[in-house]
């Protein structure tokens, strides 16, 4: 099974490691992108925010960058300020951040959701 998946990942992230292992076990081809060096483009973050119906789901709320910024600061941001913050620090983005060849966006790793989206 071939696919043009793009996965934004962070090498120290245990969830990302599980997701990459799952992709390999399911013989799915992907392009690996370091989320800290090359975060998803602004248009993809905006699309993800619209698709998910909330910007909170875009943030890695358990990360140091998020805690340093503070939940109250993030909650008080406008959508455009939130996108700007995410673009400025890839560690703020919940990962893994996967873009399917149909431009569907999956954030975080839930094997059952990934299987439903990718193993059809």
Q: Is the pLDDT of residue 18 over 90?
A: yes
Question: Integer distance in angstroms from the first to the last C-alpha of the chain?
Answer: 10
- Of 95, 96, 94, 104, the residue nearest 50 (C-alpha): 104
Which sequence spans correspond to the domains of the chain? Answer: 5-118
What's the confidence (pLDDT) of residue 1? 43
User: What's the CA gap between 19 and 17, in Å, rounded?
Assistant: 5
Q: Is the pLDDT of residue 2 over 50?
A: no
pTM beyond 0.75: yes
What's the confidence (pLDDT) of residue 35? 96
**What count of other Cβ atoms lies within 10 Å of the Cβ of residue 74?**
18
What's the confidence (pLDDT) of residue 4? 85
CATH number assigned to the domain with residue range 5-118, chosen from the 4 options 3.20.20.70, 3.30.565.10, 3.30.930.10, 3.40.30.10: 3.40.30.10
**Tens of pLDDT, residues 49-67:** 999 888 889 999 999 999 9
Look-up: residue for tokens 């975080």? 108
**What count of other Cβ atoms lies within 10 Å of the Cβ of residue 23?**
21
CB 93 within 8 A of CB 39: yes
With H, G, I as helix, E, B as strand and everything else as coil, classify residue 69: helix
What's the confidence (pLDDT) of residue 108? 95
**Tens of pLDDT, residues 80-110:** 999 999 999 999 999 999 999 888 999 999 9
Crossing angle (nearest 10°) for helices 111-118 and 14-25: 40
- Of 24, 109, 104, the residue nearest 117 (C-alpha): 104
């Amino acid at each position: 099974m071939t696919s043009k998946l793009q996965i934004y990942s962070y090498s120290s992230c245990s969830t990302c490691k599980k997701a990459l292992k799952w992709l390999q076990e399911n013989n799915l081809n992907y392009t690996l992108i370091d989320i800290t060096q090359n975060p998803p483009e602004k248009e993809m973050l905006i699309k993800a925010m619209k698709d998910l119906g909330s910007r909170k789901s875009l943030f890695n709320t358990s990360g140091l960058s998020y805690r340093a910024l503070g939940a109250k600061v993030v909650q008080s941001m406008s959508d455009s300020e939130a996108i700007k913050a995410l673009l400025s620090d890839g560690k703020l983005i919940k990962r893994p951040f996967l873009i399917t060849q149909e431009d569907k966006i999956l954030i975080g790793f839930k094997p059952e959701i990934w299987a439903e989206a990718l193993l059809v």
